C-alpha cells in the first residue's frame, strides 16, 4: 500500500511508502491530508507527561517544499504495464480482453517503416494480432484500430503506475481526469 504524496498546491508528486510518509510527518512537512487514516505509528513516551507520541498517516498528503515534478513538462514514461493499463488489457485489433502474458506493445506504424516508440504510436495487441499485422500499417494489413492511442495525463499516469490504489486515492485522482480518458469506462 502506498501513500499519494502531493505538493502543497495539490499536484501529484509520487507514490511513497508508509515509512517515507512518516518521515514527512515527523519533519512537520505535512501541510494537509485527505482520505482515510491508513496507519498509526507509535513512538516513545514523553519524559515529562508520560504520553506516548503517535503519528497517524493519511492515504493522501500534501507536503511543503519545492515540487519535484512540473506537470506541464512531464511526459509519462512508456512501459508495457502502463500501456496495457491504458488500454485496459484490450487488444486494439480483435477487441478481446487478454491476460497480460498474452499482450504485446504494438507499433501502429511499424519500426520497419520508421514508426516511433511513443505513446501516440503504440497500442495494446494480443500476440496473434501482432503477429498477423507484422511489419504493416493497419491500412496495409486491413486491420483497423478499434480505439485510438493517447498520451496519459499526469493524473492518469499516477493511476497507471500503481496497481493497488485505495478507493479514496482513486476517487481523488479520477476527479482530475479528462473526460476522454479510457479509465472512466
114-153 positions binding Zn ion, by CB under 5 A: 126, 129
Nearest Cα neighbor of 150 from 92, 103, 73 is: 92
Cell of 155: 493524473
**Judged by CB under 5 A, does residue 170 bind Zn ion?**
no
**C-alpha closest to that of 146 among 125, 160, 131:** 125
Closer by beta carbon to Zn ion, 141 or else 170: 141
Of 83 and 165, which has the nearer Cβ to Zn ion?
A: 83
Nearer to Zn ion by C-beta: 93 or 172? 93
Question: What cell numbers appear for 61 in the block?
Answer: 498528503
User: What DSSP designation does 12 have?
Assistant: E
CA count, 13 A, side-chain hemisphere, 27: 10
Per CB under 5 A, the list member of 3, 22, 57, 91 interacting with Zn ion is 91
Q: Residues binding Zn ion: what is the number (CB under 5 A)?
A: 5
Minimum distance between the CB of residue 94 and Zn ion, rounded to whole angstroms? Answer: 3
Q: Which stretch binds Zn ion (CB under 5 A): 21-29, 37-45, 92-100, 107-115?
A: 92-100
State how far the Cα of 57 lies from the Cα of 55, in Å rounded to an integer.
6
Instruction: Tell me if residue 148 falls in helix, strand or coil.
Output: coil
- 90 lies in the binding site for Zn ion (CB under 5 A): no
Which residues of this protein are in contact with Zn ion, per CB under 5 A?
91, 93-94, 126, 129
Amino acid at each position: 500500500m502506498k501513500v499519494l504524496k502531493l505538493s502543497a498546491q495539490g499536484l501529484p508528486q509520487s507514490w511513497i511508502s508508509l515509512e517515507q510518509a512518516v518521515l514527512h510527518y515527523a519533519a512537520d512537512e505535512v501541510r494537509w491530508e485527505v482520505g482515510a487514516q491508513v496507519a498509526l505509528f507509535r513512538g516513545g513516551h514523553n519524559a515529562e507527561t508520560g504520553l506516548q507520541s503517535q503519528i497517524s498517516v493519511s492515504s493522501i498528503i500534501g507536503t511543503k517544499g519545492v515540487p519535484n515534478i512540473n506537470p506541464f513538462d512531464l511526459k509519462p514514461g512508456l512501459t508495457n504495464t502502463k500501456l496495457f493499463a491504458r488500454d485496459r488489457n484490450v487488444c486494439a485489433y480483435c477487441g478481446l480482453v487478454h491476460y497480460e502474458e498474452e499482450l504485446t506493445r504494438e507499433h501502429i506504424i511499424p519500426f520497419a517503416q520508421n514508426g516511433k516508440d511513443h505513446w501516440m504510436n503504440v497500442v495494446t495487441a494480443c500476440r496473434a494480432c501482432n503477429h498477423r499485422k507484422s511489419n504493416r500499417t493497419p491500412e496495409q494489413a486491413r486491420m483497423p484500430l478499434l480505439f485510438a492511442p493517447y498520451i496519459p495525463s499526469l493524473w492518469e499516469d499516477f493511476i497507471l503506475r500503481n496497481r493497488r490504489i485505495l478507493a479514496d486515492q482513486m476517487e481523488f485522482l479520477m476527479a482530475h481526469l479528462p473526460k476522454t480518458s479510457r479509465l472512466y469506462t
